[in-house]
Structure 1
């Protein structure tokens, strides 16, 4: 895999092979960090882009990255705190809304 490349798999226990690569997240966005993954609908969070995987680049000072499923590329997601203070600590995602979905698609 190339640096910054991400692939998403769908599990279907009725098929063989049971894992299949998907090219679209159905309009949802996935946040992957050091804790539980979170799935959001961009309509509930206007700054979030649909069909993207948000992840933290451990190799590059914990910078927030966005992988666009349509283009297959990862780009740096600028942080407002870092723009104001370049020595700012790593990014952290907090989700305090009941509209967040679990990875399985069930409301928390």
Structure 2
């Protein structure tokens, strides 16, 4: 992800690195170590040693310069597919641990895809729900023609209420189509 002139990446252990490629000698900086999450202090009580077992980790940035970390803990098997928790964190370098749990996004929403994640103001996007995380390529267990199947769908998660649902009944992504992508004006 590109943010504030640097490229950011997240590891399986939820460590965040920033790459500055602007100079003659590129630099790499550790932004946050996995222990800086303080997950044991959050509602879900997932020990830091189990962070690697969280299914998906995403970084998102906002136009106001905020950096977010989104963790999606899911049970992934054919027999049982369920979302256990979605955790949203805001980066605060002045604080230890440096990630603050976000209980409410206010008038913002996060758009999470397999290729990009961004924060948007819902005031500028009619139809977007505030305080939500939109996953554009989310695995969901359903029944198709009477058989249980795992499909990819658009899922909306309400951060404050802790509830998630498919965006609408016909929001299933077609398997032959590539997942949706978007471009942010700051990158063009």
TM-score, with length taken from structure 2: 0.43
2:138 to 57, 68, 93: 57
Aligned equivalents of 2:161, 2:87: Cα separation in 1: 12
Larger RCO, structures 1/2 (Cα 8 Å, 6+ apart): 1
How far is 1:41 from its partner?
1.4
Match of 1:76?
Answer: 166
1:29 to 109, 112, 120: 109
Correspondence 1:8 to 2:88: yes
How far is 1:80 from its partner?
4.9
Could you give the per-residue CA deviations for residues 3-61 of structure 1, whole angstroms, max 9, x where no partner exists?
A: 32211011111211111211111311101110010222112221110110001313531
Could you give the per-residue CA deviations for residues 59-101 of structure 1, whole angstroms, max 9, x where no partner exists?
A: 531111000012101101126565xxxxx60584343574xxx
Q: Which runs of 5+ in 2 are unaligned?
A: 1-72, 75-81, 141-149
Report runs of 4+ in structure 1 exceeding 2 Å deviation: 1-5, 79-82, 90-98
Higher relative strand content = 2
Aligned equivalents of 1:54, 1:63: Cα separation in 2: 10
Aligned equivalents of 1:38, 1:54: Cα separation in 2: 10
Aligned equivalents of 1:54, 1:81: Cα separation in 2: 12
Q: Which runs of 5+ in 1 are unaligned?
A: 83-87, 99-106
